[in-house]
Structure 1
Amino acid sequence: MSIRHGLLALLERGPMYGYQLRAAFEESVGGTWSLNIGQVYTTLSRLERDRFVHPLPENDGGQRPYEITETGRAELTRWFATPIERTDRPRDELAIKLALAMATPGVDVSAVVQSQRAAGIRALQEYTRLKRGQDAAESADLSWPLVLDAMIFQCEAEIRWLDHCEATILRRRPSGTGPTSAAAPTPAADPAAKEPEGAGR
């Protein structure tokens, strides 16, 4: 999600100034995305330049609220109606890291996979704990629970993919050798070979 569209969505609720927008943004995503106040004001400046928001007079505390314009509402409507394409999302840093590990001499790829899986399991446990707390609270606000669900599903998918990576590495590792690394290229897998029992678990 772009910060600009996030701020537009928040301003659709009503006028806010920078610190209010930062707090509302972080609350909406359960604190999983921290914003620097400088990012907020830089984005507001660009939104004003594009006529998506309009500054209001300063309040008694010296803060200047912003309100969304009709042009901004049209842009927000367009954003909500447009599916996010895979090519629009950030590159998968983990996949790139593993690809580079496979090609870098001396790197124990199995250790990289296991370390990442352990981190993923810890994150999954934490998200699950938070989810149980949300379920117990039975809050009427569904935004944070849905964000939690997405994070849980992403963790589960990442762990499954890492299991697959480890199983593939084990299949390609010659029997009796140490951890797979780019320093010792291994032969292609035998199509008739069976996956080792318990691989990736």
Structure 2
Amino acid sequence: MSIRHGLLALLERGPRYGSRLRTEFEERTGATWPLNIGQVYTTLGRLERDGMVAQEGEDEAGRVLYALTPAGRAELRAWFTRPVERASPPRDELAIKLAMAVGAPGVDIRKVVEAQRRHVTDALHEYVRQRAQVLSRAPARTDEVARLLVLEQLICHTEAEIRWLEHCETRLLRLTVTKEGGA
């Protein structure tokens, strides 16, 4: 997840202070990826160092406002046009867990798969419930549409994880039958 580019995108709408950026980021993503305020200010510091943002005075409460620079605007445009790289897939804790559980002494991998499936199914129900809430309000505001897109991405990923867990269970069953049949 690119906090850096997310903050640049929010700054394109005009100067903002750190905690407002945090709030808007969380609203836009449906609080799926909560930000620590320290992350926001650390990222703003790096963006300022790299010439992507500049301090632009203070608001009436004395909070420092940050604004997008031409270099930041160019970086944002480039980010929007670049596809997200898939060359090196992110590490997935579940895949690592299952890979390590295969053949581990005292581990019933079927129970590991089943526990994960129950957890993911509960998450799926929650995402679907949240999506229904957003849709019941007939989303018109940008942040509501953005939240809907994030929720739908989470639903798709969760459904894919459930399908993958079913595949793992089938694969493990075949391997168990093959081992028992061959012994």
Code of the residue aligned with 1:120 in structure 2: it is: V
Instruction: Map 1:38-187; keep pairs closer than 5 Å.
Output: 38-87=38-87, 89-141=89-141, 142-174=145-177, 187=179
More helix as a share of residues: 2
SS of residue matched to 1:151: helix
Q: Cα 1:88–1:67, aligned 2, differ >3 Å: closer, same or farther?
A: farther
Q: Cα 1:169–1:189, aligned 2, differ >3 Å: closer, same or farther?
A: farther
Gaps of 5+ in 1: 175-185, 191-201
CA contact (8 A) 1:53 1:68 kept: yes
State the distance in 1 between where 2:54 and 2:133 align: 39
CA contact (8 A) 1:171 1:189 kept: no
State the distance in 2 between where 1:90 and 1:24 align: 26
1:139-160 superposed Cα distances (whole Å, 9 cap, x missing partner): 1131111111110010000000
Decide which structure has the larger Cα Rg and report it. Answer: 1
Gaps of 5+ in 2: none
CA contact (8 A) 1:172 1:189 kept: no
Report deviation, 1:167. 1.0
1:157-188 superposed Cα distances (whole Å, 9 cap, x missing partner): 000000010111112224xxxxxxxxxxx739
Code of the residue aligned with 2:179 in structure 1: it is: P
Per the normalisation by structure 1, the TM-score is: 0.84
Code of the residue aligned with 1:14 in structure 2: it is: G
State the distance in 2 between where 1:189 and 1:16 align: 66
Report deviation, 1:89. 5.0
What is the number of residues matched between the two proteins? 179
